[in-house]
Structure 1
Amino acid sequence: MQTRHMVMLALGGVIGTGLFLSSGYSINQAGPLGALLAYMIGALVMYLVMSCLGELAVQVPETGSFSVYAARYLGPGTGYTVAWLYWLTWAVAIGSEFIGAGSLMRKWFPDVPVGVWCAVFAAAIFIINSISARTFAETEFWLSIIKVATVIVFLIVGAGILMGFSHYQAPGLSNFTREGLFPTGSWSMVMTLLLVLFAFSGSELVAVAAGEAKNPQQDLKKAIRMTIVRLSIFFIGTVLVLAMLIPREQAGVDQSPFVMVFDMAGIPYAGDIVNFVIITAMLSAANSGLYAASRMLWTLGDQGFIARRYARLTRKGIPLNAVIVSMIGSFASLASSIYAPNTVYLALLSISGLAAVLVWMSIAAAQMMFRREYVRNGGRVEDLGYRVRCYPLIPIAALLVCAASLVGVGFDPEQRISLYIGIPFVGWCYLVHWWKQRRQARRG
């Protein structure tokens, strides 16, 4: 993979339905100012975590990335748990993306069952991930280009409307004060922040591919910096434009805010355009998700945590067994969303929602332990290819904000279940790892 592939892999993993659909909902729930502040804080937290990941990934480029770092610097049990959390997150997401894309296809093909589209999309994504890492990266690059281009066009169109190049009279800055600074209460901004942090998850994908980069040190350094800047501009810029164009009570209620803005500008077929882009976003997320999930299984097999057959590679360097099992896991998740939505699927969603924050916390903690060990062994901080500035303030800040978001989850009745189910699952992973280690010790 080259730098452009790695940047688009990260952008593709983050820019999706959370931006095209949920950004309007955030404004509706927290108000224009509350949503903007939440996304600014989310971008800051992403910078903190990605800085920590950058130091680790550039110095020790590994396929599997943060699960390897967690195992090495925080303990094998933590590495085992992080890998399973991340695998499950993407397994759940892949199934959701297939059924979501299939449902949107009914806009154009109402007589074709959603299941048919799920099968078609799954077959395409599986083939792309089974050929070679280059094929995957090139496909993801072009899928992500569509999304990035749409965001750029949206920002240009939105700016044009605000400058008066449209018959629509935009509220502008007055939208921030029309109902007061926090019309739904300041606590709603905190609740929105939790969703925003989850929306930024996926940026860490840039490091999952570290072991398959053409020039890991140089490519990763560029990719991480470019990812941080571009995601911050895209997300904050989009929310700022939406906050000045759409009244809070209309945002995120009936349709995508992107459709609303394109309609304001008089762009024909706005609904069809955005529908196509959202389908592309979902397939891109599924493509990235299958890649990430399979590499997590490969890491578990390579470290001996699960059967070694999952660490076997094809001639093109693809962990095909891991790809197959990850795809099967995604279909199991999809089936549970249909046949057990209030039990099994709810539990899977709860765990995957919590996993994003726990993975970010493991990255910050692993960076602190790595730096301590690096210096203790005689390494000079100045020699690091990518180093965290203001150490240890940045990793500590990342840990505190992520921990605070978990505390906030406990105060939200709708999200509290993620703690009730997610924390026991984490404990179960540690217990299984301990049991496996003990059994291996007895055999040895």
Structure 2
Amino acid sequence: MTQPSGFASISKREQGLHRQLSAGQMSMIAIGGAIGTGLFMGSAFAIGYAGPSVLLSYAIGAFITLLLMGCLAEMTVAHSTSGSFGAYAEYYVSPMAGFLVRYAYWAAIVLAVGTEVTAIALYMKYWFPDVPAWIWILSFSSALVALNSVSVKTFGQVEYLFSAIKLAAIAAFILLAVWLVFGSSSGEYGLHHYTDHGGFMPHGFSGMWVAVIISIFSYLSVEMIAVAAGEAEDPERAVRQAFRATIVRLVVFYLLTLALMLAIVPWDEAGKTQSPFVTVMQYIGIPGATGVMNFVILVAALSAMNSQLYITTRMMFSRSRAGQAPAGLGRLTRTGIPLNALLLSCVGIAVATVLSVVYPEESFSLMMAISMFGAIFTWLMIFVTHLFFRRYYARKQQALTFKLPLYPYGTLIGLVLVTTVFTEAFRMTLLFGAPFLVLLTIG
């Protein structure tokens, strides 16, 4: 479809990236980012807060995500650019809005990279309990940075493989869990676990709502499709296919796996410091299964980190081309990689390394908390931008080739739900995020 003439200048300044990503690879990039530590490790925190009502938490989170994906799909089909929602906010809301969204999201994903690699170090302790975490952080980080510096085609192929491995493993987990819960004659497993240990909502509504916040952290990265559209072979077709495939897979994998997991392991034993998936395998007692599951979880974290490095690099590239960051960060290698932007995006790895040394026991929860603000702010601004976007097209009386059903109610509901996620349990998120936004505005 025809872009507004003013937006064409935004797209033009971001030229140079190679369009080599297929619809399948775009979907896997989003899956790769969203099915990672949030599911395999973050779910332990969510279960600890909400108990079995974590299923409601993740369902609410999925609903918010569905609304967000619809808003993004509309805007991305109209404008496929690596600047994505930052560029949309710049054009439809204000240049300052675009500036804040770009930097807030970049900071969130950079810190999410640190969160993933911190989790990787925790997973490696299963096999090497005495090796310091910082060694694993630096080793795996170096490997993925090298991978991202080759070409976008290589990145897409490796990410597709990573995501395929973890999706296959989750599918196998679901089949095994279904048999245990519904096909086994043992009374040890079953839906009675939902109410046997303090009830379905053991910590009340507040505990369930805190878990909604964690679920949003888990779903974070679905918006990567909009950024990857700037390097898609056929953006309009690829974006539609990728959005549909991603939301279905996320809802099925998150809700179904959590429902089965809580039917096998009592919630007050699943929500511990290690991954609940590993705990389930320990309960089942299949020889070697625990080690295999830990390997799959490791691959999942690598996949998420790989996707996040890709996205932070493209967002910084977009900022540079917009004149909001040093020009050197917008330079491309011969293969179309913004290498300087990639190297700068390793800041989160540095933060994770320091925290793993200074606060080895709390490093993961600290990284997760401080990365949340930028993510929530970005989601909030996507809903706001969509309202401005629709108002623009209504005023111009231009037709959209893809529309979010139930507009404006869906957008407004998503906006309200996202603004209520800041609760007492995530005070660190506000303590980090509010001053960061103030500094950006003043700067």
Shared fold per TM-score greater than 0.5: yes
Whichever residue aligns with residue 144 of structure 2, its letter is I
Whichever residue aligns with residue 321 of structure 1, its letter is N
Percent identity over paired residues:
35
**Contact (CA 8 Å) 1:64, 1:209: kept in 2 or not?**
no
**Contact (CA 8 Å) 2:118, 2:363: kept in 1 or not?**
no
Residue 13 of structure 2: aligned partner: none
Counterpart check, 1:296 vs 2:312: no
Question: In structure 1, what is the Cα distance between the partners aligned to 2:73 and 2:202?
Answer: 39
* Residue among 361, 365, 369 paired with 2:380: 361
Structure 2 unaligned spans of 5+: 1-20
Tell me the CA shift for residue 37 of structure 1: 0.7
**Contact (CA 8 Å) 1:157, 1:262: kept in 2 or not?**
no
Residue 426 of structure 1: aligned partner: 437
Matched position secondary structure for 1:118: helix
- Structure 1 pair 331/228, CA: closer, same or farther in 2 (3 Å)? closer
**Contact (CA 8 Å) 2:111, 2:371: kept in 1 or not?**
yes
**Contact (CA 8 Å) 1:30, 1:188: kept in 2 or not?**
yes
Residue 410 of structure 2: aligned partner: 394
- Structure 1 pair 224/337, CA: closer, same or farther in 2 (3 Å)? same
Residue 401 of structure 2: aligned partner: 385
TM-score by length of 1: 0.89
- Post-superposition CA distance 1:329-385 (Å, at most 9, x none): 1343134314665999999765421111111111111111111111212302xxx23
Matched position secondary structure for 1:26: helix
Counterpart check, 1:336 vs 2:362: no
**Contact (CA 8 Å) 2:193, 2:267: kept in 1 or not?**
no
Instruction: Please identify, of 332-341 and 70-79, the stretch whose mean Cα deviation from structure 2 is larger.
Output: 332-341
Residue 39 of structure 2: aligned partner: 19
**Contact (CA 8 Å) 2:194, 2:200: kept in 1 or not?**
no
Residue 159 of structure 2: aligned partner: 140
Residue 372 of structure 1: aligned partner: 391
Residue 441 of structure 1: aligned partner: none
Residue 5 of structure 1: aligned partner: 25
TM-score by length of 2: 0.89
Matched position secondary structure for 1:152: helix
- Structure 1 pair 275/344, CA: closer, same or farther in 2 (3 Å)? closer
Counterpart check, 1:151 vs 2:142: no
Whichever residue aligns with residue 277 of structure 2, its letter is F
Matched position secondary structure for 1:405: coil
Whichever residue aligns with residue 12 of structure 1, its letter is G
- Post-superposition CA distance 1:309-340 (Å, at most 9, x none): 2112222221111112112x134313431466
- Post-superposition CA distance 1:110-140 (Å, at most 9, x none): 5655444333322221121111111111111
Tell me the CA shift for residue 17 of structure 1: 2.1
* Residue among 315, 327, 335 paired with 1:316: 335
Whichever residue aligns with residue 273 of structure 1, its letter is V
Matches for 1:109-188 after TM superposition, within 5 Å: 109=128, 113-165=132-184, 167=186, 169-173=188-192, 175-176=194-195, 179-188=198-207
* Residue among 97, 114, 122 paired with 1:95: 114
Matched position secondary structure for 2:115: helix
Compute the RMSD of aligned alpha carbons.
Answer: 2.4
Aligned residue pair count:
422
**Contact (CA 8 Å) 2:330, 2:338: kept in 1 or not?**
yes
- Post-superposition CA distance 1:53-105 (Å, at most 9, x none): 11011110111311111111121112111111121122222233334323433
Residue 404 of structure 1: aligned partner: 420
Whichever residue aligns with residue 18 of structure 1, its letter is G
